[in-house]
Structure 1
Amino acid sequence: MSHWNRKLRFTFGMLAAASALLALGCGDDGAQPAAPGTGGGPGTPDVEVEVQTARDYPDLVEAVSSFGAVLLDNALYTYGGNLGGGEFAADNQSSAFRRLSLAPGGAWEDLGAVEHLESTALVAHGGLVIRVGGLRADNAAGEPEELISVTTVERYDPSTGKWQALPDMPEGRSGHGAVILGDRLYAVAGWELIGAGEFRTGGFMLDLSTPDAAWVPLPDPPFRLRSLGVAKRGDVIYAMGGVGDAQEFSSEVYTFDTKTETWAPGPELPSEIPIKGFGATACSDDEDLYVNYADGLFRLNEAGDGWEPAGELEFTRYFSPLICPGNGEVIVVGGRSTANNEITASVESVDVAQ
């Protein structure tokens, strides 16, 4: 049995314990409250108008988890992912690259086959989609595992439908996060999986405004984590949750100030179940930073020193990419159900307006 499989089985054992806690009432599905409307003009009686931010979107074409997703020009792009199947194999990894317009009546559009990867990251910059790293299985189902965290980075131009290579990262990277600040692309945390898997550097930065730029290592962080949520607020990058060297599940949060290039502890994630922030995903809009994990959806408070619930999901899930269109909406895409570990195709819009 590979080191990777031993880790995976231990993870799912902890998940069973979490499911038992949920059965005892730790999980709660509920309706989203409608926001009150405003009254009319002079001489017009006040009328309470129901405002519903949450919208209905079509499900994914197939159930998938641990995939890349990003919003660009009011369209949701998805790349690859884990299709289930119970083992790591090429056939259990998606090679689909798709797009969904978030305009009313939008439908999923197939943009062609890509490299079969999971645990990858997508970002948007300059009207382009950028894919950073990911985990590729080169073995067929039932064969010995051949797993590799790829070094490759590439960008997709929606106007031409073409991919273009960007500089490779110095190390392979999967289970990481990626964010854009201005023209700088950051790849944060994660690990390089070749055989047993190793935590190496804390990530890299690439200046997209500079021709022939090379990746620059980030200062060493005070953690070694993968399968975590990464997002920004202002000039600060947040690394949230995940799992570490000895399979210890984390609810810790760390911040990286991109101005001073220093790491610092942040406010710990609230967690009621054993797997804590494992499989967390995150996003931010112009105002707020959100994180989703097995305990639910949370928002960083205004002071930046704690977390507050940010709306109720139909069901809690993890390894579910999070999209922040703004205007009081967050979209949770695919992933694994916390209750039964089943992969879902659900695309859920959550009303997070206060």
Structure 2
Amino acid sequence: MYVELCNVNKYYGTYHASKDINISIEQGTVLALLGPSGSGKTTILRMIAGLEIPDSGDIKINGAVVNTMKPRERGIGFLFQNYALFRYMTVFENIAFGLEMQGISKAEIKRRVTELLDLIGLRGLEKRYPSELSGGQKQRVAFARALAPRPNVLLLDEPFAAIDVKVKEELRSWLKETIKKIGITTIFVTHDQEEAVELADYIVVTKQGRVEQMGTPRDIYGAPKTPFVAQFMGKSTDIKTYHHLKGFNMDIQGDSAIIRPECVRIYKKGTLRQYMSAAEEGIIERILFKGNHMELWVRIDEILIYSNASIDDEEFKVGESVDVLIYRLYVFDQNKTYVIENSKMNTDNLYYI
């Protein structure tokens, strides 16, 4: 493994910020540290960077323990959330800054900065100042500056937090393509699930200083191992009375369950052609237009759930009676999550996670 955290702990006074952290990352991998505010993800990133020192455990990069190494000795490139560009330096000077601190020759600096300007697509803007750049351009310059000294590991702290939604989507695609092109091991912090799923090869979900689960985006989303991960990932509806739903009255003693919108399909009365025995009758209570789809909120007895519908589907109306198929539930107790398929639709109905 290229980057390893082995039983790492970090305290701030009596506050236990990182609790027995064990993470292993292969070279060239993109890893997302994902979790809510205060979950410990940024502390992990800062310890890898050398900006914080663990109280116990080891941090290894390429097999070497780096606990006592200074940040500049670790071969780390760090992209800060606010980019931290120097206002009175041009784009060229910002990118060249780290190279100048290393005493690199002017000819080599010019060659390296020009190479990076081509990589980030900003050739021709090297004489501009940060105040003359858009948010997306500033992010690219900060990215190039972090890459200039040819680091072994790239660390990104909430890399898209300061960018508007449209530019953010474009930059995600660009950043993923660029990281893969240069093949650098990358770790980034985010609280945005969509960002983590889109960019990362692996995701580490953190909660209260602990690693809740590590796996591929598909594993984390589709096979959550703990109640927290099941509830944190995706946009879902929490329910208690799941045993009353058709096809889910098997002997599972979970405390509660969630239903994700992709596991629900809503049909206008008279249009459902199969699985009628599994269908619930619901009443549409709310409809939200989301641009490229509709969000439908439906009440089944005391349970209010929601699903998505295409804007090309036949129009639904508030108060309309509909048929509802629920394909899957995520049921959990205090320690375990059960992924349950509707028994009236699938005979392979139970998976233990």
Same fold (TM over 0.5): no
Structure with the higher helix share, 1 or 2: 2
TM-score, length-scaled by structure 2: 0.25
**Higher alpha-carbon Rg:** 2
TM-score, with structure 1 as normaliser: 0.25
